[in-house]
Structure 1
């Protein structure tokens, strides 16, 4: 029972002490968290710079730490793969992005919902995310990213790793 009361106190304190999630021009937000997807999991880091009341640009990188090795035949290639491991280029991705920050539109200052577009090393894509700030400098975020168009039709064994829907969650910081 003590754990439940402590948890409820912390949650209610976090909501009553919450701060503004996106302030606009000059705002800088950093997200660091886990990246979860089919075939692997890893880390994601992003930074967003406020350009206006509802607009920001930034950069996002991800690196897959745990990736399943491949065994079998791929795309009718007669040579089978045995315990084929992904290289650095298969695990890493970087993107530039723009966001529409909607905290002032939805009327909840502590919650920043941000849909956006990204242009990366492997694809053109989109994302939808949200940040909630408990204090002036610390909050949590979650984000779903998805490809819209791949750059190549190269059907490498690990090409799918950076061309699929991803789910990220973690901590958000205001700088």
Structure 2
């Protein structure tokens, strides 16, 4: 019962003390969290810089820590792969991105919903995310990213790692 009361207190305190999520020009947000996807999981870090009331640009980087090794045949290649491990370039992706920050549009200052586009090392894609700030400097975020156009011919065993839908969640900081 004490745990339930403590949880209710923390949730109600977080909601009543919530702060404005996106302030516009000059605003800087940093996100750090977990990246979850098919075939691996890892970490994601991003930074967004406010350019106007509802517009920001930024950078995001992902690194897959846990990746499934590959065994078997790939793309009708007659030579089988045995315990094939991904290289650094298969695990890492970096992107430049732009966002439309919609907190003032939807009328909820504490929640920043941001759809956007990204141009990265492996693809051109999109994302939809949200940030909620409990205090002036700390909040949580979640984000779904997806490829729109993939680079290359997708012949590598691990090309799918950076060309699929990803889900991220973690902490957000206001600088």
In the superposition, the TM-score normalised over structure 1's length comes to: 0.99
Supply the distance in 1 between the matched residues of 2:119 and 2:150 (Cα, whole angstroms): 10
Hey, what does 2:95 align to over in structure 1?
A: 95
For residue 142 of structure 1, what is the aligned residue in structure 2? 142
Partner of 2:168: 168
Runs of at least 5 residues in structure 1 that lack an aligned partner in the other structure = none
Root mean square deviation of aligned Cα? 0.4
2:46–2:58: 8 Å Cα contact kept in structure 1? yes
Q: Give the whole-Å Cα distance in 2 for the aligned partners of 1:154 and 1:103.
A: 38
Could you give the per-residue CA deviations for residues 65-93 of structure 1, whole angstroms, max 9, x where no partner exists? 00000000000111100000001010000
For each residue in 1:152-172, what CA deviation from the matched residue of structure 2 results, as whole angstroms up to 9, or x when unmatched?
Answer: 113100000000000000000
Matched, 1:130 2:127: no
Residue 78 of structure 1 corresponds to 78
> Runs of 5+ in structure 2 lacking a partner?
none
**Distance (Å, rounded) in 2 between the aligned partners of 1:91 and 1:154:** 15
Q: TM-score, normalised to structure 2's length?
A: 0.99
* Residue 6 (structure 1) aligns with: 6
Deviations 1:79-116 (Å, cap 9, x if unpaired)? 10000000101000000000000000000000000000
SS in 2 for 1:7: helix
Once the two structures are TM-superposed, the CA of residue 151 in structure 1 deviates from its matched residue by 1.3
For 1:116, the equivalent position in structure 2 comes to: 116
